[in-house]
Chains A and B, each alone.
Chain A
Amino acid sequence: MGQGILLSAGADIDFMIHGVFSYELFGQTVWITTTHVCVLIVMLVITAFCIAANRAVKHASDVPGTFQNVVELVVEMLDKMIGGVMGKFSPKFRNYIGTIFIFILLSNISGLFGLRPPTADYGVTFAMGIMTFVLIHYNQFKYQKVKGVIAGLCDPWPIWAPINIIGDIAVPISLSLRLFANVLSGTVMLALVYALLSKIAIIWPAALHVYFDLFSGAIQTYVFCMLTMTYITNACTTDE
């Protein structure tokens, strides 16, 4: 039953989230899953890179070495991308956008190293969607004041307010589902290839890895950050 009827070959396809161990917290059983482990690994990699980058920048030389060049390249690329979309608001949101860009990119690429990508868990992407949602509405109230927010809700006519509210709520859901479904589809397809064609899956799945992990992962990272920036810039911009 179950998987057996799905795959007559009976191969073990494995792309689900597994629990590693569980513990009791306030009477609830809480599971530490593979997602947590993969997020921790990605975090450790990012932290190690940040410590090395901090040291390289503190001892910066006039003629930059290889590593210092890489750090400057990353920072300049992020600054250019964020400045191009957000304009005068870019200094305030550079930290947030840069952080989620690097985190999502490394998470998506981590499928290449045999991890289950953390972004293929809806809990991770939905958390980022919620953060974007909070940022949008905090900045909307901060820049447009309550009057502007109410005017935005009653945009063409006041009777449209419920539809506008539904549209606002749909933003984080569609944002997170897009990232989640793209990464999950790549993970599932590669798991199916490895399980069903295990006899002949020798070298050519590398091409699939390049498409699903590198290309699709980079595009989805870019799209998530661009949409976040566009929404936040829209919320910050006042009418005059």
Chain B
Amino acid sequence: MGEFNNNFILGCSAIGAGLAVIAGIGPGVGQGIAAGHAAAAVGRNPGAKSDVTSTMLLGQAVAETTGLYGLLIAMLLLFVKPLLP
């Protein structure tokens, strides 16, 4: 590790964690698009509301996965601290 001490590594880990949760942008946009289309579908066919809602929730939960991977990386960097010697 040379001249870098543990505080420097922890600070860099915090910056990395902050960068990792930027992954939340993608699922946010995707879930918004899904919810918007579901709202349009319910407006066109109000009878199918429960089907549309369950399909929307399923699709949103799958789309959320990539954001959760970013969150997991941030959690690992902050709390498990794999970079410390």
Contacts and interface: CB of A to CB of B under 8 A. Distances in A.
A188 interface: yes
A6 interface: yes
Given A184-B75, A185-B71, A226 B58 contact: yes
A1 B79 contact: no
A185 B79 CA distance: 13
A178 B11 CA distance: 28
B61 A188 contact: no
Given A1-B6, A223-B58, A16 B72 contact: no
Contact of A223 (B10, B57, B69): B57
B71 A227 contact: no
A184 B78 CA distance: 14
Nearest to A230: B58
A16 B79 contact: yes
A182 interface: yes
A219 B68 contact: no
Interface residues of A, number: 19
Contact of A177 (B65, B79, B81): B65
Chain A contact surface mostly:
helix
A177 B57 contact: no
Nearest to A1: B6
Interface in A4-27: 5-6, 16
A231 interface: no
A177 B67 CA distance: 11
A174 B7 CA distance: 33
Given A1-B6, A5-B10, A185-B71, A178 B79 contact: no
A219 B6 contact: no
Interface in B24-80: 54, 57-58, 61-62, 64-65, 68-69, 71-72, 75, 78-79
Interface of B: 6-7, 10-11, 14, 54, 57-58, 61-62, 64-65, 68-69, 71-72, 75, 78-79, 81
Given A6-B14, A220-B61, A223-B58, 12 more contacts: A1-B6, A2-B81, A6-B78, A174-B65, A177-B72, A178-B62, A178-B65, A181-B69, A184-B75, A188-B75, A219-B61, A222-B54
5 contacts: A2-B81, A5-B7, A16-B79, A226-B54, A226-B58
